[in-house]
């Protein structure tokens, strides 16, 4: 099933004449940068989910809040859909444009407005890059904790819209845990402040509701994030195992020992070999699985915890446990993990990255299930995941040029997500639903739950003009998808060629 | 526990009946937070028949329990496994329930360092204003599918639906815990706290009563010992923190109305008539004062905070800007179109 906007199942969109709208925008906002020619619009046809592309009706690049406000008012008045975009690094098509909608690019709002070490916050515009916040806070010995793998490029506005994660979530939380305040504009161009400079705010927790709402409830115009003091030290242990089940159990035993690592990552043999071949991190290529366990904090505690974790790992059946002897080795251990996706890209013409979460106790069972599916479908699956918080990123290897491989990759991907939902997990841990998983939403939520999501949307955007078609499927789509689901016995899945 | 049972069907029936009759419900557990929000009428819906821990696996760091479960039972189960609710929720009564903890969204002394109740909510089951028992979020740490309805429920005082079950993230108890008392003035204490907040010190609670700064250190043996040596002071009985959390300190006995002031980090001294107690390292202050409500609210709003009165009444919740209030109303209208869930508890027209 194609995931591009389909008015038949996703709802009719108003037809807007491009020339008319362009003229109206120019009249109302003479100093607003507007792209309207095909060749100028083309670069904006997709986000990080590049397999799916739609050329937008128009692209606008505002620089001032008043422009965004006036634009929204005009679009609201004329019934024109608006899709917001930050840096366009999202992996689920959350910023995939609409042929009948305006793409609102917030990238020019790129100023850091305030870094306040005493107040432990930074106030920034939405187009500021995630890493730039930590760089600005670094002279004060502080940082912004969430670190999605795209942190060098992704914008904080997009992080808020997606509730972005990273490799340190178990200890430091997701975006939602690291925000104080967000300024937004509603679809009507009304300014709202969600959250506050204090640690809590009166009324309903709309800050939590808006975080991860994928641009469906309002447009983020300013973000105040929490800053944390940088941990004194970080040390990394690398443990190798002869079975993935042992590695999974080791994760549970570390937690049971009362230790919350800063990062706890697992890779299986295929991922280990691909990464080692690419990065030469010093990984044991004959191990069935490795665990990378990072402990951070005050020196004395980290030292003690390293000893405790090493003992736990040995007890859990690790055949080798290595502590990175210096910063260079620590960085090298991590480089293998951080480059696992491109590394897998070198050993297969195509691959397809999943983002499911599961309760950690199900890890051995789900890994076994994935391994069985891999045999059944005749496709290799490399497993890379945030083991500490049960966020899996299985990578399905296939060759789109071989007849039937893409279909088999889609089928096994669907089965893996079904497995995640079946053991009590989720179809997305950090990449978001966007367009990519719009059909799988129907597997995770029943029609009453989806109806309630639509009610939430209606409270802020009753006409459905903000990012229509993303995040929450229509019941019509679920009915159709459900019928298809029963007919073929698998979840259909899009092709992905990305990392 | 033999008293544990799933009574969600009966709760669903009671809600359905209220919806059929258009008759408002007054949701309550043990009523331990009755001093917050407005006094309301309506047929009582008591959550305490629906109780019990549904699942708890310490290695998973997730506990799921029914809304009517007494908080003390949950804390006892966690304690036995060496774990805790990091947000340290105030009970404010012997029989406080999980549902009340989440609906009120109050957090204890550890909040600035460990996070709030809402930060630890992973999933909920909710009976909605359309008479359905639905599930949002789940029992996993990371889950960004759909809108975060679970966290929206936290602190909503039952005005958006009836919570029947909650899944929480829990954490191991720290290996070491040590409390200190350091005699110093208020001004100096606030300045020190602003400075220490930028450093990786294992502080997990900080209170000042006008005479001395009270600190709690939590972490590994090494970090706690080195911080203790650096900070000096006298050892303090750790029961101080539960007394603070449960409002059992002498400070809370005054006759004047009690206010909770929520403030930005590093806010300086506040010149308000009455007595003040600094909590949350300065980001929360307790005030007993007979000053006019408006004067207190204005002064607190001027420094970027808000004030909540701990006495039931028409103006106990801090006022909202008009535009924000309008969206509160549309949200309430969408999720509880017949207005059966605690109407008026949080704000008169919600």
For residues B172 and B78, give the distance between their C-alpha atoms in angstroms, rounded to a whole number: 9
Strand-pair category, A102-105 with A82-85: parallel
Q: Which two tokens stand for residue A317?
A: 């059946």
What pLDDT does B148 receive? 98
CB < 8 Å to B152, chain A: 204-206, 208-209, 456
In A411-491, which ranges are E strands?
A: none
Task: Give the pLDDT confidence of A10-46 residue by residue, as tens digits.
Answer: 999 999 999 999 999 999 999 999 999 999 999 999 9
- Classified as helix, coil or strand, A61 is strand
Q: What is the pLDDT of residue B2?
A: 56
Letter string b/e over residues A339-350, b meaning 16 or more CB atoms within 10 A of that residue's CB: bbbebbbebbeb
How much is the ipTM here? 0.98
For the segment B127-149, the average pLDDT, to the nearest whole number, is: 96
The answer to whether residue A172 neighbours chain B at the CB level (below 8 Å) is no
Residues from chain B that touch A264, judged by Cβ atoms under 8 A, are none
* Inter-chain residue contact B148 with A212, CB threshold 8 Å: yes
Q: What pLDDT score does A496 carry?
A: 26
CA–CA min distance B4, chain A (Å): 23
**What residues contact residue A179 under an 8 Å CB cut-off, 6+ apart?**
A160, A195, A207, A211, A223, A224, A225, A226
Give the pLDDT score at A497.
Answer: 27
Asked whether residue A481 carries a pLDDT value surpassing 80, the answer given is: no
Higher pLDDT, A445 or A411: A445
Q: Does A422 touch chain B (CB under 8 A)?
A: no
How far apart, in Å, are the Cα atoms of A264 and each of A144, A169, B10, B202?
A: 19, 10, 43, 22
- Chain A environment of B325 (Cβ under 8 Å): 203
Chain B hits for A472, Cβ within 8 Å: 146-147
Beta-carbon contacts below 8 Å between A and B: 278
Residue, of A352 and A196, whose pLDDT is higher: A196
Confidence of residue B229 (pLDDT cuts 50, 70, 90): very high
Q: Are B163 and B48 in contact (CB under 8 A)?
A: no
pLDDT confidence of residue A245: 86
Q: Which of A184, A200, A249, A253 to mutate to test the interface with B (most CBs of B within 10 A)?
A: A200
**What is the distance in angstroms between the Cα of A460 and the nearest Cα belonging to chain B?**
7
CA distance A301 to chain B (A): 5
A453:B146 CB<8 A: yes
CA-based max dimension of chain B:
65
Residue A495, pLDDT score: 31
Residues A471 and A434: beta-carbon distance below 8 Å: yes
Q: Is A364 on the interface with B (CB under 8 A)?
A: no
Contact present, A103 and A59 (Cβ < 8 Å): yes
pLDDT tens digits for range A95-129:
999 999 999 999 999 999 999 999 999 999 999 99
Q: CB count, 10 Å around CB of A378?
A: 11
Q: What is the mean pLDDT of residues B326-347?
A: 97
A335-371: pLDDT as tens digits? 999 888 889 989 999 888 889 999 988 888 898 899 8
Average pLDDT of the residues of chain B: 96
Q: If we measure between CA atoms, which residue out of A296, A183, A165 comes closest to residue A236?
A: A296
Rounded distance between C-alpha atoms, residue B87 and residue B115, angstroms: 6
CA B189 – CA B214 distance, rounded (Å): 10
Residues on chain B touching A229 (C-beta within 8 angstroms): 197-201
Residue A494 has pLDDT above 80, yes or no: no
State the pLDDT confidence band at B312, using cuts at 50, 70 and 90: confident
- Subunit contact B149:A453, Cβ cutoff 8 A: yes
Compare CB distances from A298 to B149, B175, B222 and report the shortest one's residue.
B222
Q: Do A208 and B152 touch (CB under 8 A)?
A: yes
The pLDDT of residue B49 is above 90: yes
pLDDT of residue A413: 85
Q: Is the pLDDT of residue A484 over 60?
A: no
Angle in degrees, 0-180, between the axes of helices A363-377 and A244-256, rounded to the nearest 10: 160
A169 touches chain B (CB under 8 A): yes
- Inter-chain touch A176–B151, beta carbons under 8 Å: yes
Contact residues for B294 (Cβ-Cβ < 8 A; gap 6+): none
Nearest CA in chain A to B265: A119
Are the beta carbons of A186 and A218 closer than 8 angstroms?
A: yes
**Residues B304, A300: C-beta atoms closer than 8 Å:** no
Name which of A392-401, A468-477, B87-96 the model is least confident about. A392-401
Distances (CA, A) of A307 to A300, A304, A359: 11, 5, 27
CB of A360 less than 8 A from some CB of B: yes
pLDDT for the residue A493:
33
Contact A186 B327 (CB under 8 A): yes
How confident is the model over A372-398, as a mean pLDDT? 93
Does A499 score more than 60 pLDDT?
A: no
Q: What is the dihedral of CA A122, A128, A130, A136, to 10 degrees?
A: -50
Answer whether A163 touches B (CB < 8 Å).
yes
pLDDT at A490: 37
Give the A window 275-314 contacts with B, CB below 8 Å: 297-301, 303-305
Provide the CA B25 distance to its chain's centre, in angstroms.
22
Examine the pLDDT at B313 and tell me if it is beyond 50.
Answer: yes
Contact flag A230-B320 (C-beta cutoff 8 Å): no
For residue B110, is pLDDT > 80? yes
Q: Is the pLDDT of residue A485 over 60?
A: no
Residue B254: pLDDT band by 50, 70, 90 thresholds? confident
CA-nearest residue of chain A to B148?
Answer: A209
The alpha carbon of residue A74 is apart from the nearest alpha carbon of chain B, in Å, by 19
Kindly give, in sequence order, each residue whose CB lies less than 8 Å from that of residue A228, ignoring residues fewer than 6 positions away. A120, A142, A143, A144, A145, A172
Could you say which residues from 327 to 356 on chain A have a Cβ atom under 8 Å away from some Cβ of chain B?
Answer: none
Instruction: Say if CB B86 and CB B114 are below 8 A apart.
Output: yes
Average pLDDT score over residue span B24-37: 96
Helices (H), B81-153: 98-104, 111-114, 117-120, 149-153
Residue A229 to chain B, least CA–CA distance (Å): 5
**pLDDT category of residue A418 using cuts at 50, 70 and 90:** confident
Looking at residue A320, what is its pLDDT? 97
Mean residue pLDDT of chain A comes to 92
Across A318-322, A334-338, A409-413, B216-220, least confident range:
A409-413
- When scoring A184, A199, A213, A233 by the number of chain B Cβ atoms within 10 A, the one with the most, hence best to mutate, is A199
CB contact under 8 A, B111 and A199: yes
Q: pLDDT (tens digit, 9 = 90+) per residue, A253-269?
A: 999 999 999 999 999 99
Nearest CB to B152 within list A191, A209, A299? A209
Q: Count Cβ atoms below 10 Å from residue A319 Cβ, excluding itself.
A: 15
**How many angstroms away from the CA of B174 is the closest CA of chain A?**
8
Picking from B60, B264, B283, the nearest residue to A361 by CB comes out as B60
Is the pLDDT confidence value at A53 over 90? yes
* pTM of the shown model: 0.95
Instruction: Tell me the per-residue pLDDT of B238-253, one tens digit each, with 9 for 90 and over.
Output: 999 999 999 999 999 9
B187: number of Cβ within 10 Å: 10
Q: Is A6 in CB contact (< 8 Å) with chain B?
A: no
Neighbouring-strand partners of residue A220:
A184
CB half-sphere exposure, A361, CA atoms < 13 A = 12
Res A145: pLDDT: 97
Predicted confidence band of residue B300 (pLDDT cuts 50, 70, 90): very high
Beta-carbon contacts of residue A102 (< 8 Å; ≥ 6 apart): A21, A56, A57, A58, A59, A60, A71, A75, A80, A81, A82, A83
Q: Which residues of A touch B57 (CB under 8 A)?
A: 359, 361
User: Is there a contact between B265 and A304 if contact means CB atoms under 8 Å apart?
Assistant: no
């Amino acid at each position: 099933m194609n995931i591009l906007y389909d008015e038949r199942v996703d709802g009719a969109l108003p037809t807007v004449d491009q020339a008319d709208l362009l003229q109206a925008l120019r009249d109302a906002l003479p100093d607003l940068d507007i792209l309207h020619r095909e060749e100028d619009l083309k670069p904006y046809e997709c986000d990080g989910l590049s397999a799916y592309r739609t050329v937008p009706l128009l692209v606008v690049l505002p620089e001032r809040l008043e422009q965004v406000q006036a634009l929204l008012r005009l679009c609201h008045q004329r019934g024109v859909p608006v899709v917001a975009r930050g840096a366009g690094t999202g992996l689920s098509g959350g910023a995939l444009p609409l042929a009948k909608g305006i793409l609102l690019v917030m990238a020019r709002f790129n100023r850091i407005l305030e870094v306040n070490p005493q107040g432990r916050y930074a106030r920034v515009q939405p187009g500021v890059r995630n890493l730039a916040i930590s760089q600005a806070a670094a002279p004060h010995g502080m940082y912004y904790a969430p670190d999605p793998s795209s942190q060098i490029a992704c914008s904080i506005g997009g992080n808020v819209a997606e509730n972005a994660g990273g490799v340190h979530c178990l200890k430091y939380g997701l975006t939602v845990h690291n925000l104080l305040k967000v300024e937004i504009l509603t679809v009507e161009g009304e300014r709202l402040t969600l959250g506050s400079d204090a640690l809590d705010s009166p009324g309903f927790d709309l800050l939590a509701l808006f975080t991860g709402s994928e641009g469906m409830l309002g447009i983020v115009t300013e973000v105040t994030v929490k800053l944390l003091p940088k941990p004194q030290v970080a040390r990394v242990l690398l443990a190798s195992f002869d079975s993935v089940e042992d590695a999974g159990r080791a994760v549970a035993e570390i937690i049971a020992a009362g230790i919350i690592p800063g990062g706890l990552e697992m890779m299986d043999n295929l991922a280990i070999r691909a990464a080692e071949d690419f990065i030469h991190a010093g990984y044991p290529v004959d191990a069935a699985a490795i665990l990378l366990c990072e402990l951070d904090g005050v020196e004395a505690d980290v030292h003690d915890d390293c000893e405790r974790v090493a003992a736990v790992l040995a007890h859990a059946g690790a055949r080798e446990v290595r502590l990175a002897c210096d910063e260079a080795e620590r960085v090298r251990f991590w480089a293998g993990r951080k480059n696992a996706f491109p590394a897998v890209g070198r050993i297969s013409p195509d691959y397809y990255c999943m983002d499911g979460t599961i309760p950690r106790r199900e890890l051995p069972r789900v890994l076994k299930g994935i391994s069985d599916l891999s045999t059944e479908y005749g496709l290799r699956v490399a497993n890379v995941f945030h083991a500490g918080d049960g966020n899996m990123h299985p990578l399905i290897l296939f060759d789109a040029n071989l007849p039937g491989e893409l279909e088999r990759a889609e089928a096994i991907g669907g089965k893996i997500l079904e497995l995640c939902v079946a053991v009590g997990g989720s179809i997305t841990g950090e990449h978001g639903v966007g367009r990519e998983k719009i059909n799988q939403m129907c597997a995770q939520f029943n029609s009453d739950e989806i109806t309630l999501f639509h009610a939430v949307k209606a409270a802020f955007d009753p006409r459905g003009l903000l990012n229509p078609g993303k995040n929450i499927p229509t019941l019509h789509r679920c009915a159709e998808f459900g019928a298809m689901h029963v007919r073929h016995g698998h979840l259909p899945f899009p092709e992905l060629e990305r990392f | 526990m033999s008293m544990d049972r799933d009574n969600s069907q009966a709760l669903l029936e009671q809600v359905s009946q209220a919806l059929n009759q258009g008759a408002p419900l007054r949701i309550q557990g043990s009523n331990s937070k009755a001093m917050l929000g407005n006094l309301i009428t309506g047929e009582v819906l008591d959550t305490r028949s629906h109780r019990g821990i549904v699942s708890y696996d310490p290695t998973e760091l997730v506990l799921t329990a029914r809304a009517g479960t007494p908080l003390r039972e949950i804390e006892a189960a966690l304690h036995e496994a060496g774990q805790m609710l990091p947000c340290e929720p105030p009970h404010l009564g012997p029989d406080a329930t999980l549902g009340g903890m989440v609906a009120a969204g109050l957090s204890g002394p550890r909040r600035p360092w460990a996070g709030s109740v809402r930060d630890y909510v992973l999933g909920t089951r909710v009976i909605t204003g359309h008479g359905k028992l639905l599930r949002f979020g789940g029992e996993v740490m990371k889950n960004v599918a759909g809108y975060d309805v679970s966290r929206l429920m936290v602190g909503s005082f039952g005005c958006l639906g009836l919570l029947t079950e909650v899944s929480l993230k829990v954490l191991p108890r720290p290996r070491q815990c040590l409390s200190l008392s350091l005699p110093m003035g208020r001004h100096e204490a606030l300045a020190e706290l602003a400075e220490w907040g930028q450093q990786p010190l294992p502080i997990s609670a900080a209170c000042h009563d006008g005479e001395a700064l009270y600190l709690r250190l939590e972490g590994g043996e090494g970090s706690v010992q080195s911080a203790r040596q650096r900070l000096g002071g006298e050892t303090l009985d750790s029961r101080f923190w539960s007394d603070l959390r449960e409002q059992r300190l002498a400070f809370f006995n005054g006759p004047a109305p009690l206010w909770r002031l929520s403030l930005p980090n590093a806010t300086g001294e506040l010149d308000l008539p009455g007595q003040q107690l600094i909590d949350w390292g300065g980001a929360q202050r307790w005030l007993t004062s007979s000053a006019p409500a408006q004067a207190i609210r204005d002064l607190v709003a001027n420094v970027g905070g808000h004030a909540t009165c701990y006495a039931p009444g028409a103006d106990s919740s801090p006022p909202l800007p008009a535009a924000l209030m309008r969206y509160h109303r549309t949200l309430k209208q969408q999720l509880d179109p017949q207005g059966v869930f605690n109407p008026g508890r949080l704000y008169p027209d919600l």
